Chains A and B, each alone.
Chain A
Amino acid sequence: DTEVTQTPKHLVMGMTNKKSLKCEQHMGHRAMYWYKQKAKKPPELMFVYSYEKLSINESVPSRFSPECPNSSLLNLHLHALQPEDSALYLCASSQGGQETQYFGPGTRLLVL
Chain B
Amino acid sequence: AQSVTQLGSHVSVSEGALVLLRCNYSSSVPPYLFWYVQYPNQGLQLLLKYTSAATLVKGINGFEAEFKKSETSFHLTKPSAHMSDAAEYFCAVSLGGGKLIFGQGTELSVKP
Contact = CB atoms under 8 A, between A and B. Distances in A.
Interface of A: 4, 6, 31, 33, 40-43, 45, 48, 50, 55-56, 88, 90, 92, 94, 96-98, 100-106, 108
Contacts of A97: 96-98
Contacts of A6: 43
B12 to A, nearest CB: 16
Interface residues of B, number: 25
Contacts of A100: 34, 46, 49
Residue among B49, B94, B95 with most chain A CB within 10 A: B94
Secondary structure of the A contact surface, majority rule: strand
A48 B94 CA distance: 14
A90 B98 contact: no
A98 B43 contact: no
A103 B44 CA distance: 6
A41 B43 CA distance: 13
B90 interface: yes
Contact of B44 (A43, A94, A108): A43
25 contacts: A6-B43, A31-B98, A42-B90, A42-B102, A43-B44, A43-B102, A45-B99, A48-B98, A50-B98, A56-B97, A88-B41, A90-B43, A90-B44, A96-B98, A97-B96, A98-B94, A101-B98, A102-B46, A103-B36, A103-B43, A103-B44, A103-B45, A105-B42, A105-B43, A106-B41
A88 B39 CA distance: 13
A66 to B, nearest CB: 13
